[in-house]
């Protein structure tokens, strides 16, 4: 197998085995192949040719799994859109990837606004779409003849994950069939995935963690249990789902596991089927991790590391709760992967010295979509251990190697923060604030875990609530600050950049 | 004021502050009107306002999907408490 589009077409696939369920509907592998083949036919019918983008604007469901695999089989690049994000934000992504075809489960005003603000010609899924676009309802998709996957090569583009960009414009991370499939293989072998495993798809489609379940489960013949978005807001409902669906493998951000620990009614749940818990995307406070691990002694835990540009690339397995309360390491590189810790001049640092982490791996992205400057800035061509040269991704993450060979994450060199696992470039939020009428200058700082505070220099009297509501209509919810503080002016460095450390000092009290 | 009216007022003024209209039967979870932090704030507010303690096991989707569901849950809790 060389392509992501072949994930449903390999010898180990058992047509009768469960492939995906969302609690309302379930498909076995035979049905998943049939439905994704029909949707692939609809894409072709809609004018999609290999290398074109298809936007997927669908909540986690049987349909989201079908849409991803149909896109791959049609040779399209799938672009997942956050169903909860404001339409104006989604419209910038649709423009950026120049897609004319959308799969959506939206209706009414959201769909109408999205079509109006973009060049979308075809909407697949809804029974009705705005008059300016052609509509292909699910019922019509079901009447098409299923298509076989189109012929592709392994460095053909497969999907784009958008993430916060420091200029204020989101950047698209383009992965190929090769990098996606390498991830599926490594995930399946590292975590011993097999038929009978039931993987909870917790991360939404637009969050790169979701490719773990979407790709590795079919590779291993395991099944995917889609966790509906509303369930994630209720830790006790989530643990009830994990028990009912007999989940064996869990992958999420620590935030969600902490919610489960604190509010998941764990004393009333039997979760002994859970055999492996993976967490990543941000730091898990070791005390809370130890507490959760003692509640679930039957499960192995792993801290996984990897920016979306490289999928996963490192892991640290924990068989026992951490005893010392130092940071949990991000561990070591997995197979087909090399890492290097370098100083500002790109020289490998001495053992025990901190530096930037560079990664060379088979799971690495091809490039940033339409952003050659950004791509050049983040990819280094360096020698590899095999004697040749290769492309290395410069993560921007500062790390240090422990004497035992495990790496520890220390922080960022730039202004990227993580909010419940989501990457947020503080500059992007500041750019959105500066776009607002009442704001003359703005700085955004982290304030405690998972919280951003905006410091603004107002232009006349400003209604803070109104400002935040306007911002909420332009940015994904996790990147909207929770509070605003007014200041007379913002501290700047000698090079006229905002001095965020000094700005934070201006806050009345920092938790 | 009835329980559902006070809850509706709280939700529309403190939690779901966007342009989308909200009534007793609006699904607050489908479109993200109420996120996980919103749920925690609502629980805290219900506990304070009605002087009840809400067990984590009761903070489930079914009890918080709509204003009507929240009101029914709170009234049932108040009834049990006064028995």
User: What DSSP letter does each residue of A350-371 carry, written as one string?
Assistant: PTT--EEEEEEETT--SEETT-
Between A18 and A510, the more confident residue is A18
Confidence tier at A326 by pLDDT (50, 70, 90) = confident
Residue A232 at interface with chain B, using a CB cutoff of 8 Å: yes
Confidence tier at A188 by pLDDT (50, 70, 90) = very high
pLDDT score recorded for residue B2:
87
Instruction: Let me know: does A253 contact A279? Beta carbons within 8 Å.
Output: yes
Q: Find the mean pLDDT for residues A251-268.
A: 96
pLDDT score recorded for residue A323:
82
Nearest CA to A313 out of A337, A284, A290, A341 is that of A337
Distance in angstroms (rounded) separating the CA atoms of residues A489 and A441: 8
CATH 3.30.300.30-classified regions of chain A: 416-505
Task: Provide the chain B residues 34-73 that lie in CB contact (below 8 A) with chain A.
Answer: 34-36, 38-39, 55-62, 64-65
Picking from A81, A105, A230 by the largest number of B CB atoms within 10 A of its own CB, the best residue to mutate is: A230
- Residue A452 phi, psi (nearest 5): -115, 140
In this complex, do B60 and A237 lie within 8 Å of one another by their Cβ atoms?
A: yes
Confidence tier at B47 by pLDDT (50, 70, 90) = very high
| A240: chain B residues, CB-CB within 8 Å | 60
Between A35 and A419, the more confident residue is A35
Between A182 and A447, the more confident residue is A182
Nearest to A237 among B18, B38, B61 (CB): B61
pLDDT score recorded for residue A509:
64
Q: How far does A288 lie from chain B, in Å, by closest CA?
A: 18
DSSP output for A398-422: EEEE-TTS-EEEEEESSSEEEETTE
In this complex, do B60 and A264 lie within 8 Å of one another by their Cβ atoms?
A: no
Residue A168 neighbours by CB distance under 10 Å: 18
- Residue A53 phi, psi (nearest 5): -95, 145
The kind and range of the H/E element at A279 are strand A276-280
- Token pair of A10 as six digits: 């390999």
Q: How far does A34 lie from chain B, in Å, by closest CA?
A: 29
Q: Is the pLDDT of residue A37 over 50?
A: yes
Residue B1 at interface with chain A, using a CB cutoff of 8 Å: no
Nearest to A84 among B17, B32, B56 (CB): B32
Question: What percentage of chain A has pLDDT greater than the value 90?
Answer: 84
Inter-axis angle of helices B67-82 and B3-10, nearest 10: 130
Instruction: Let me know: does A317 contact A310? Beta carbons within 8 Å.
Output: no
CA-based R_g, chain A, Å: 23
Strands A122-125 and A416-419: unpaired
**CATH architecture, domain B3-82:** Orthogonal Bundle (1.10)
Strand ranges inside A68-193, DSSP E: 77-80, 101-104, 122-125, 134-137, 157-163, 171-176
Q: A416-505, which class in CATH?
A: alpha beta
Residues A134-184: tens digit of each pLDDT = 999 999 999 999 999 999 999 999 999 999 988 888 999 999 999 999 999
pLDDT score recorded for residue B17:
67
Nearest to A259 among B32, B36, B57 (CB): B36
Give every strand in the sheet of A223-226, ordered side by side.
A26-28, A18-21, A223-226, A198-201, A249-252, A276-280, A300-305, A314-318, A332-333
Residue A139, SS3?
helix
pLDDT score recorded for residue A113:
95
Distance in angstroms (rounded) separating the CA atoms of residues A269 and A249: 16
Residue A438 neighbours by CB distance under 10 Å: 16
Distance in angstroms (rounded) separating the CA atoms of residues A401 and A351: 7
Q: Is the pLDDT of residue A14 over 80?
A: yes
Instruction: Let me know: does A17 contact A28? Beta carbons within 8 Å.
Output: yes
Among A70-79, A145-154, A396-405, A467-476, whose mean pLDDT is lowest? A467-476
pLDDT score recorded for residue A166:
83
Instruction: List chain B domain ranges.
Output: 3-82
Distance in angstroms (rounded) separating the CA atoms of residues B63 and B44: 14
Sign of CA dihedral A228, A231, A233, A235: negative
In this complex, do B59 and A472 lie within 8 Å of one another by their Cβ atoms?
A: no
In this complex, do A240 and B18 lie within 8 Å of one another by their Cβ atoms?
A: no
For all residues of chain A together, what is the average pLDDT? 94
Residue A229 at interface with chain B, using a CB cutoff of 8 Å: yes
pLDDT score recorded for residue B83:
61
| Predicted complex ipTM | 0.93
| B14: chain A residues, CB-CB within 8 Å | none
Q: Find the mean pLDDT for residues A364-378.
A: 97
Question: Which residues are registered as beta bridge partners of A315?
Answer: A304, A332
Q: Give burial (CB, 10 Å; 0-12/13-18/19+) of A377.
A: exposed
In this complex, do B60 and A234 lie within 8 Å of one another by their Cβ atoms?
A: yes
**CATH architecture, domain A4-177:** 3-Layer(aba) Sandwich (3.40)
Nearest CA to B40 out of A86, A446, A255 is that of A255
Residues A401-445: tens digit of each pLDDT = 999 999 999 999 888 999 988 999 999 999 999 999 899 999 999
Q: Find the mean pLDDT for residues B43-72.
A: 95
CATH 3.40.50.980-classified regions of chain A: 4-177
């Amino acid at each position: 197998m060389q392509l992501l589009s072949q994930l449903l077409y390999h010898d180990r696939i058992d047509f009768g085995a469960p492939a995906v369920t969302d609690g309302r509907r379930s498909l076995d592998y035979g049905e998943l192949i049939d439905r994704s083949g029909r949707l692939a036919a609809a894409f072709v019918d809609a004018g999609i040719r290999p290398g074109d983008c298809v936007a997927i604007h669908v909540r986690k469901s049987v349909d989201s799994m079908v849409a991803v695999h149909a896109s791959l089989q049609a040779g399209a690049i799938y672009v997942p859109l956050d169903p909860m994000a404001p339409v104006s934000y989604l419209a910038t992504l649709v423009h950026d990837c120049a897609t004319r075809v959308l799969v959506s489960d939206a209706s009414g005003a959201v769909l109408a606004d999205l079509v109006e603000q973009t060049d979308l010609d075809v909407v697949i899924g809804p029974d009705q779409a705005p008059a300016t676009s052609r509509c292909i309802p699910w019922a019509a998709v079901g009447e098409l003849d299923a298509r076989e996957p189109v012929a592709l090569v392994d460095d053909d583009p497969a999907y784009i994950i958008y993430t916060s960009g420091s200029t204020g414009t989101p950047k698209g991370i383009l992965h190929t069939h090769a990098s996606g499939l390498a991830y599926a293989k490594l995930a399946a072998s590292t975590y011993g995935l097999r038929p009978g495993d039931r993987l909870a798809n917790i991360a939404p489609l637009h969050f790169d963690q979701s490719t773990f379940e979407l790709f590795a489960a079919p590779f291993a013949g395991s099944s995917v249990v889609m966790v509906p978005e509303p369930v994630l807001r209720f830790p006790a409902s989530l643990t009830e789902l994990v028990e009912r669906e007999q989940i064996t493998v869990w992958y999420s951000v620590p935030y969600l596991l902490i919610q489960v620990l604190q509010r998941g009614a764990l004393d009333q749940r039997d979760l002994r089927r859970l055999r492996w818990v993976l967490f990543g995307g941000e730091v898990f406070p070791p005390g809370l991790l130890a507490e959760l691990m003692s509640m679930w002694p039957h499960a192995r835990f792993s801290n996984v590391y990897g920016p979306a540009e490289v999928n996963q690339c490192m892991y640290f397995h924990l068989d026992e709760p951490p005893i010392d309360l130092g940071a949990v390491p991000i561990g070591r590189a997995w197979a087909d992967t090399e890492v290097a810790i370098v100083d500002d001049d790109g020289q490998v640092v001495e053992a025990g010295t901190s530096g930037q982490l560079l990664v060379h791996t088979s799971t690495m992205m091809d490039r940033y979509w339409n952003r050659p400057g950004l791509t050049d800035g983040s990819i280094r061509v360096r020698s590899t251990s095999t004697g040749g040269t290769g492309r290395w991704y410069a993560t921007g993450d500062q790390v240090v190697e422990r004497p035992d060979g495990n790496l520890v994450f220390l922080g960022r060199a730039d202004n990227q923060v993580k909010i419940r696992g989501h990457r947020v470039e503080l500059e992007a939020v500041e750019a959105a604030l500066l776009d607002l009428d009442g704001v003359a200058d703005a700085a955004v700082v982290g304030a405690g875990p998972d919280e951003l505070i905006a410091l603004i220099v107002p232009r006349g009297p400003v209604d803070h609530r109104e400002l935040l509501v306007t911002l909420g209509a332009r940015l994904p919810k996790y990147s909207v600050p929770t509070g605003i503080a007014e200041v007379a002016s913002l501290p700047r460095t000698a090079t006229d950049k905002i001095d965020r450390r000094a700005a934070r000092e201006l806050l009345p009290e920092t938790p | 004021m009835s329980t559902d009216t006070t809850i509706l007022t709280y939700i529309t003024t403190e939690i779901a502050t966007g342009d989308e209209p909200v009534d007793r039967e609006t699904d607050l979870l489908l479109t993200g009107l109420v996120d996980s932090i919103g749920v925690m704030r609502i629980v805290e507010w219900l506990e304070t306002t009605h002087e009840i303690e809400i067990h984590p096991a009761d903070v489930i989707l079914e009890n918080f999907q709509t204003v009507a569901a929240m009101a029914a849950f709170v009234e049932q809790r108040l009834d049990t408490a006064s028995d």
